[in-house]
Amino acid sequence: MISPGEPMSPTGDARCFCLRSYGVRPESVIVYGQSIGTVPSVDLASRYESAAVILHSPLTSGMRVAFPDTKKTYCFDAFPNIDKISKVTSPVLVIHGTEDEVIDFSHGLALYERCQRPVEPLWVEGAGHNDVELYGQYLERLKQFVAHELVNL
């Protein structure tokens, strides 16, 4: 159900616009985010209903990317995915390259471990940050997720 109130964020505003303008049901929406795009995706999915969430090369937090030894979330960290992912009630597919040179693979694993409804992740052996989709298993996993795993929800 769409709230008649004002949206709380730009992502909420875009969501409301799309749902109202195109008559899309929330349970038909798959939220997809890649890299820094996983931040608004996790935020949106943590506050609104959706069919599923796909996180491609996600980050746990901005501070943890910049300072890998960081173990907690600071109030000034604008990208706290690690604190919001547990609020996502939709099935979550995490995809990450094991040789990611921008956002370490450990970020994807940490988010996966905190999901309420994780599905079998895709860890792409040897893939970096910008080439995951070039591996054949990427498209196959997406097809499997949408065609088979979401059908049973």
> Does the pLDDT value for residue 153 go beyond 80?
no
Amino acid at 29: V
Catalytic position from the list 46, 83, 129, 131: 129
User: In the prediction, which pLDDT does 10 show?
Assistant: 60
Catalytic position from the list 57, 100, 104, 107: 100
> Does the pLDDT value for residue 147 go beyond 60?
yes
DSSP per residue, 6-74: --SSHHHHHHHHHHHHHT--GGG-EEEEEGGGHHHHHHHHHHS--SEEEEES--S-HHHHHSTT--S--
Whether 56 is catalytic is: no
68-106 pLDDT per residue, tens:
788 887 787 788 899 999 999 999 999 999 999 999 999
Band (pLDDT 50/70/90 cuts) for residue 2 is: very low
Catalytic position from the list 35, 46, 83, 131: 35
Whether 35 is catalytic is: yes
User: In the prediction, which pLDDT does 1 show?
Assistant: 39
Please give the order of strands across the beta sheet that includes 52-56.
30-34, 52-56, 92-97, 122-124
11-53 pLDDT per residue, tens:
666 778 878 888 888 888 899 999 999 999 999 999 998 999 9
Whether 90 is catalytic is: no
Domains within the chain, CATH numbers bracketed: 29-149 (3.40.50.1820)
Band (pLDDT 50/70/90 cuts) for residue 9 is: low
